Chain A
Amino acid sequence: MPDQSPISSVNDFVVRFANVNGSGSASANELFARSILRHGVPVSPRNIFPSNIQGLPTWYEVRVTEAGHLGARGGVDMMVAMNPQTWDKDVASIEPGGYLFYDSTKPIPSSKFRADINVIGVPLTAITNSTYTDPRQRQLFKNIIYLGALCALLDMDPKLVEQLIGEQYKSKEKLLSSNVHALHLGRDWALQNLKCPIGLRVKKSDKVGDRIFIEGNSAAALGAVYGGATVCAWYPITPSSSVAEAFTSHCKKLRHDPETGKAKYAIVQGEDELASIGIVIGASWNGARAFTATSGPGISLMTEFIGLSYFAEIPAVIMNIQRAGPSTGMPTRTQQCDIIACAYASHGDTKHVLLFPEDPAEAFEFAAQSFDLADRLQTMIFLMLDLDIGMNHRLCRPLKWDDARQYDRGKVMTAAMLDEPGRDFGRYLDVDGDGIPYRTYPGTHPTKGSFFTRGTSRDRYARYSEEGAVYADNMQRLVRKFETAQDLVPRPLQANAAKPTKYGVIYFGSTAPAMDEAIGLLEARGHQLDRMRIRAFPFHSSVASFIADHDFVYVVEQNRDAQLRQLIVNENGIDPVRLVPILHYDGTPITARFIANAIGDHQDHLKVTPLRKAVS
């Protein structure tokens, strides 16, 4: 008997599956997460996987959260320990009073367990071996069998799981029935041999609503389809590859001419990141909407072209699915560590527009918007996702589109416009005072509007020039253009604390769900914070006023060097002491517990009553 009372919780717990990668566990685990959603209970799953294809440890964590906290929680209430390699670490990570689910076919010495947890053994290998002869089937169905056992242990409705299996294998009757059979094998065994349910239970609720369950990379790719991207060039790199793969599959369904069957898009897998961004810039120069998806090392390789895009003013979109750097870093771990690298990418004086979506729904919106912004501003737009948003299924509001929406192709001079009497075309002429000149697409007019695009300096009419004043004039216009960008990019969102407070917090991107949850934890500790979620760079003027309105502001981010804080200090001339960095950068997604502890401790420290001065 454990010397700790078993954890008892309905619709609020964390299950972690410890698997070996390449064992086919991913689909069973995802099925588990989806089944809970079908109970009307929100879940937040996360893949924790190695940079490897077969044989190394991989984990899948499902946070069951009726309250809808979609950030990582930290801690494990139930471990489904299917990987002997990581057994010790997995067992150690279970919360006291938690549950250990394991394959009890072979006896395990008692020293390998803990006294303060509840051990649930199911002879999975024995069951599969007595049922299946094919080794591959044994492997795959073992996963479904443990899913069945969990179904019984957590009091889940097997009909909902069956329904999901049915949807998955709609036209494959044989696979459908064999999966359902395996599910019941596991469930029946548990019902007959174990005390079901345990303290952790799933109870039907109505907290999911009309929300959808999608990975950020897939949503961003769909945003590119809706935003009118026709050219995609990419080079495989974790965690961004699934953006291009999703774009491919979305386009196959949505972008073929109904009459001819031909493709209204072109996707090229480049030989490297340099070629990928080169293709994007060539296509954009020629008037198509084009993008690439990459991660940190790819950004490093693309920087020369990024400078060209900035200086020659060619629209382009890079989706950067950030992973832990520097160098190869931790390729399968999440961070927000390319903020500075992207904001100032390339040599010379450069600045780039960054967008920070918080979840897949915003990734969809911002991806579509990034093409309008790129065309309007004639510059590079970075859509800054990270592995946590990109490669995990996230519950989010349904994707929305307005059919009346037209693409903003920006300032493009047509042949008719060039023929207007008195019309002056200078490629780098600031006719409207917003720093944005007109461009023409190649092939527009037989005698007017052609120009020579170059990365060298040139005058307002695109003629080569090394005159200092001409160069400075152009660089100043680029600053004006960047100021124009401030009012075009998504604005920060502000939420004030229930009670007036002197303190604020700034955060962005995938930190959002953990931050929202942390606010509640901090309130419980008596700390009130106004919060601002930054959604883009350049920063809107409200960022500076938010900071000015508070004694100091915490800046929560997932990198070592407080990169967003640096950018705010640098760009807004803020006194650095007014911005307190809260940094999480071990490659795991930031948690509400971490934020609440870090900010809470800092706040508690402020409340310490100073010792009275010694009477002299």
Chain B
Amino acid sequence: MTYIAKPKFHHPGLKKNDLGYTHRDYEGKISTLCAGCGHDSITASIIEACYELSIEPHRVAKISGIGCSSKTPDYFLGNSHGFNSVHGRMPSVLTGANLANRDLIYLGVSGDGDSASIGFGQFAHSIRRAVNMTYIVENNGVYGLTKGQFSATADRGSKSKKGVMNTDNAIDLVAIALQLGASFVARSFSGDKSQLVPLIAAAIRHKGAAFIDVISPCIAFNNHAGSTKSFDYVREHNDAVNRLDVLTGRDPITVEYAPGTVQVVEQHDGTRLALRKIDADYDANDRLAAMTFLQKHAAKGQVVTGLLYVDPDAEDLHTHLDTVETPLNTLEAKDLCPGTTALEKINASLR
């Protein structure tokens, strides 16, 4: 429905954030996805998170692959550059973009077909390279645009809309991301915006590879009985370990928490993440424990959500490559070209 122009007027009393932007400034075109699609809730959550963080909309680069999820960057942050690239290749395009300009915020949007099948390799390698990004997988367990084939995240034993049983084992992208060293790993549910918005905000503030797997039911092809990615199934099996409040700045925490019920994680940029514990024993700073916890609960059919792991001392690819602070795309001939004197020396050494 791209032919329907989104009306530009808005309520004069619309709230503004610290930069003076309204919610509308973070919106994009009208979604062309099916009414009730989980992805649209994720889009709304991204808009909400960016608004709350008072990010300058144009300082975000939104990059996606191919598929329903990958269409969504057109539906948020209309003043940002977007790149709907090649199926499964968002991670490499994002990596390159990030290398070119370290000063922008990189939002990678992908789906389960895009990241767990055709782009599984690129997903893995961008995570292990610690690219500074927020990598969101809108995970519905099916190929929506091609009408309902199973994807690699579909659980073994789950049924397709046509009643076919999936006999292949599922890939759990969260488990893989943990193993590959992602420094921020979360899972959420598109039906739970109050959980998702702060997770996206925290991921954006995180310096390093931040990965969020968002279970996002496909209303058209994967929302039936027998599916493990339906609204009903996820609501029933959602096992949240914590709820996250993102605290920016260094002001003292004023929210009242009962002792022992909150874990505060301070990130490099000064952002503090206050994790209200739901599972009292869950430690979001323990990668190995997170992996075990995840496997144990998955075996019981539970969908573990929340901020599962965060490394407060995360590093990113630019740190590893020791690149200059100035974005590479702003360097000019005078910065980059060694000139004739150096070339004369090189010539002399080759005789």
Contacts and interface: CB of A to CB of B under 8 A. Distances in A.
Contacts of A400: 340, 343
Interface string A297-340: 00000001100100000000000000000000000000000000
Given A212-B347, A226-B343, A400-B343, A264 B331 contact: yes
Identify whether the interface residues of A are mostly helix, strand, loop, or mixed: loop
Contacts of A453: 81-85
A182 B314 CA distance: 54
A167 to B, nearest CB: 9
Contacts of A455: 84-86
B122 interface: yes
B14 interface: no
A263 B100 contact: no
Contact of A442 (B81, B89, B333): B81
B246 to A, nearest CB: 23
Contact of A452 (B73, B336, B338): B73
Interface in A63-99: none
Contacts of A230: 99-100, 328-329, 331, 336
Contact of A263 (B81, B94, B103, B321): B321
Contacts of A226: 337-338, 343
Contact of A450 (B79, B318, B336): B79
Given A268-B95, A278-B93, A287-B100, A405 B333 contact: yes
Interface string A254-294: 11010011111111101110111111111111111010000
Nearest to A37: B351
B59 A443 contact: yes
A267 B322 CA distance: 11
A331 to B, nearest CB: 23
B328 A446 contact: no
B333 A288 contact: no
A180 interface: no
A282 B100 contact: yes
A287 B121 contact: no
A274 B122 contact: yes
Interface residues of B, number: 62
Nearest to A276: B92
A452 B336 CA distance: 30
A231 B328 contact: yes
Given A407-B333, A453-B84, A454-B84, A282 B97 contact: yes
Contacts of B318: 266
Contacts of A445: 58
Q: Which of B57, B61, B329 has most chain A Cβ within 10 Å?
A: B329
A218 to B, nearest CB: 9
A22 interface: no
B216 to A, nearest CB: 21
Which residue among B86, B91, B342 has the maximum number of chain A CB atoms within 10 Å of its CB? B86
A279 B121 contact: no
A64 to B, nearest CB: 17
Given A268-B129, A279-B93, A450 B351 contact: no
A552 interface: no
A478 interface: no
B113 to A, nearest CB: 16
A304 B86 contact: yes
Given A263-B322, A281-B93, A405-B333, A452 B58 contact: no
26 contacts: A212-B347, A225-B338, A228-B332, A228-B336, A230-B329, A255-B338, A260-B324, A262-B322, A262-B324, A262-B325, A263-B321, A270-B125, A278-B89, A278-B95, A282-B94, A283-B97, A285-B93, A286-B329, A287-B101, A290-B96, A308-B85, A399-B347, A401-B337, A443-B59, A450-B58, A452-B82
Q: Nearest 8 A-B pairs (CB), nearest first?
A: A282-B96, A278-B92, A288-B100, A442-B81, A287-B329, A283-B96, A279-B96, A282-B93
Interface of B: 2, 56-59, 61, 63, 73-74, 78-86, 89, 91-101, 103-104, 121-122, 124-125, 129, 317-318, 321-325, 328-333, 335-340, 342-343, 346-347, 350-351
Given A263-B324, A282-B85, 14 more contacts: A225-B338, A263-B321, A278-B85, A278-B91, A286-B96, A288-B328, A399-B347, A406-B333, A442-B61, A442-B101, A443-B61, A450-B78, A451-B82, A456-B84
